Structure 1
């Protein structure tokens, strides 16, 4: 992808994350694969040398299984070029794209091919795709599954876009049964529309918005997902959990044998409702950011292993849409832009709580990989050389104008974070280096190196059919 990376090199570091702990090691890379894991100072013949600084660690490339790229159709919100640049800058080497808010939504095999064609020209990291389960395609999900999506997303409340409708309780059960028969998984935006406030203006105060999307709505919808999974034997995944008081129900369901996983997001772990200023609609998302006491309980779910993954739910839009209604939380578009800063944000909070980096790293790597059914997220012999150098003590003030997201608005703007990605490799090629515009150089060469991923582990080079 770039001329900067030799075909054979060794990365030596005093702290390499092996999936559970940091160990000193030399990671040997050849032709894009990890071919050996040796003692840190072991001799390696015919290999270029890369030494990770003593104040940094070597990580597997992160995995983000919840990203809204929005291309095609709403590319002015975000596109594959900008989203994957931001991912690389955050140490993320694999993303899985959500089936909305692009047009067309990924609810048919034909729409998936449109999405793949859009990604093929500009992906700087690897990209997989979720399919969508909507009222119109129930009973006809097989072709989309066979085309290679990693599972199916549904909403239980209105999605915010007319072309991606939500499922009622009977349709949820139908979708779960159909998807179970395919051997796939259903991932669910869990809010109960019967318990949500009416759409429309709410004013500039965050409290009114928070009250309009109460925790009871999330809890009710999660209960419905659990019962549908229990009845059908299907695999279910709860998206972007904000209501920590639903964790006991999730634990109980798992104890009963329900095949259930759950994710949360950096904004729920790092931002609290009490601190959101009036009119600051960049903080609007659904389900909403809740109170400090709720955040504490989410962190308990991180530490005790109930929560399986931390993912961005990167859901950007234009500045005009985010500022619609002059900061009225009921009128502004919902969604947090945070793909580039997730690890740094969560590590900043974890560090303040005395939680070691090793505790959160699996939730950024193997956790979301397992949710999506991807064989990535580890540094291991035979694995693709997706690697990131992370400096856990570096201090960075976020400036939304400098993030690689397409639109310069983010809930993290102005926040001081601890931890910074210094370099990211994708299959042994440098796709991000702090202070160096690697992505621009790649664009100029016309050879972005991300691959399109397909269920079953098939990889296709950008521009090839991945089905």
Structure 2
């Protein structure tokens, strides 16, 4: 695993015992799971100390955040479709990572589809790395793909540096990334168990979907009925069965169906190595509020009703769901909107990378859920999933990726002002609370709403792309 720099050493400290690049002071910094006054001390892209807020240091820059801003770790988003190469008109590393930085996200893990080629071979992974290295504003890592033709060769892609392997249990929507049958799912888990690889799963059962298939149309209720909760539950049961047979690790992506929670809870109690995520759109929206023909809300599995949304929140609080990731899945405006509101024809995916963190915080805040819990789900839980212990925390030795965030400041989402390549999002017009004022990567600013004032004057934006490798 390559990082920005090595952790502090004794020789490092003796060479330059009091010389630092940056100190950032805040009355409220998220340290050891709670907010307290602190000074973050940075050198060579690494947090060297978390000190008393008034402690003196010899540093090139010394910043103090306003009292209405908190200092938090950079968000780690483990579910992002960048779509480059091959479908770069849908997004791309330049626009996706700019949007990430503007949303307080300092690390993204890119999905193996919908790019062409998908990341199912070491050669395809190298194409991804080359594309990202030229353009990335934030840190980027990569998932591999488990498709029928890649089974038996997963170890080579693992050793090339992916964080794990994505599998669909139902058609993915793109021909170059076919789904696994139940037998192939269990084969993949057995193969991954040999080297303790991680399988991340789009869990919908194709037989259940076929039984509920309809002719499409503009009715949102009909679309939800075509992808019932039972499709998720059945597919998750197949994953659980495979874990029981193989001892492997698996992660359920974008859980939508609260009715699957008892099976998940039982599997975890049994000691099976299963983790689960849900997404900002499932926590922010409910079917009752989605108009017919509003295909900007189409995603698979679908956004379900209000009682389901409430149950997902409770499952997060109870620990049955481990983390929240965006599942940023953009497309062109034509693919999303050009079919007269027909849910059967529109592309399925929510574009929301830049607003995911404030969207989750807004809904949590309305329910009096503290910001600390949101950071556990979007920083700590996500970094734990991919084994990036130096991400998502403000502690000595961690990467100096952090955000100045105003938790009580509000804004209205205007898609035209987002960094996403295609200016379309289900969050358009949403009144959200929580504004990212500045984002730093490896101690250097990669986004700011306004110039950052310090003892040296004004600092401009400095892009510092570093690619993460899992090897």
After TM superposition, is the score higher than 0.5?
yes
| Selected match of 1:224 from 238, 254, 277 | 238
| Selected match of 1:60 from 70, 73, 84 | 73
Partner residue, 1:148: 161
Report the RMSD for the aligned CA atoms in angstroms.
Answer: 1.6
Residues 97 and 46 (structure 1 numbering): CA distance in 2 closer, same or farther, change over 3 Å?
closer
Q: Does 1:426 align with 2:441?
A: yes
Q: Counterpart of 1:401 in 2: which secondary structure? A: helix
Distance across 2 between alignment mates of 1:19 and 1:346:
21
Ranges in structure 1 where 5+ consecutive residues have no aligned partner: 457-467
| Selected match of 2:417 from 402, 411, 418 | 402
Q: CA deviation digits over 1:225-263, x for unaligned, max 9?
A: 111011100000000001112112111101111000000
Q: Spell out the pairing of 1:180-259 with structure 2 (5 A cutoff).
A: 180-197=193-210, 201-259=215-273
Partner residue, 2:15: none
Q: Spell out the pairing of 1:385-400 with structure 2 (5 A cutoff).
A: 385-400=400-415
Q: Counterpart of 1:253 in 2: which secondary structure? A: helix
Q: Spell out the pairing of 1:336-351 with structure 2 (5 A cutoff).
A: 336-351=350-365
- The offset of 1:436, in angstroms, is 6.3
Q: Counterpart of 2:467 in 1: which secondary structure? A: strand
Distance across 2 between alignment mates of 1:434 and 1:290:
35
- The offset of 1:395, in angstroms, is 0.6
Q: Counterpart of 2:250 in 1: which secondary structure? A: strand
CA contact (8 A) 1:199 1:330 kept: no
CA contact (8 A) 1:240 1:265 kept: yes
Q: Counterpart of 2:354 in 1: which secondary structure? A: coil
Partner residue, 2:82: 69
Partner residue, 1:355: 369
Residues 90 and 160 (structure 1 numbering): CA distance in 2 closer, same or farther, change over 3 Å?
same
CA contact (8 A) 2:338 2:346 kept: yes
Q: Counterpart of 1:228 in 2: which secondary structure? A: helix
CA contact (8 A) 1:91 1:388 kept: yes
Ranges in structure 2 where 5+ consecutive residues have no aligned partner: 5-18, 453-459
Structure 1 residues 41-50 or 254-263, which shifts more? Answer: 41-50
- The offset of 1:47, in angstroms, is 4.3
Q: Counterpart of 1:341 in 2: which secondary structure? A: helix
Partner residue, 2:382: 368
CA contact (8 A) 1:204 1:327 kept: yes
Distance across 1 between alignment mates of 2:138 and 2:175:
30
Partner residue, 1:80: 93
Partner residue, 1:173: 186
CA contact (8 A) 1:58 1:388 kept: yes
| Selected match of 1:122 from 119, 135, 138 | 135
Q: CA deviation digits over 1:251-286, x for unaligned, max 9?
A: 110111100000000000010011001211010000
Q: Spell out the pairing of 1:231-380 with structure 2 (5 A cutoff).
A: 231-375=245-389, 376-380=391-395
- The offset of 1:45, in angstroms, is 2.3
CA contact (8 A) 2:446 2:463 kept: no
State the TM-score, normalized to the length of structure 2: 0.92
Residues 199 and 162 (structure 1 numbering): CA distance in 2 closer, same or farther, change over 3 Å?
farther
Q: Does 1:108 align with 2:152?
A: no
CA contact (8 A) 2:20 2:57 kept: no
Partner residue, 2:146: 133
Distance across 2 between alignment mates of 1:435 and 1:47:
20
Distance across 1 between alignment mates of 2:59 and 2:440:
20
State the TM-score, normalized to the length of structure 1: 0.93
- The offset of 1:409, in angstroms, is 0.5
CA contact (8 A) 1:69 1:78 kept: yes
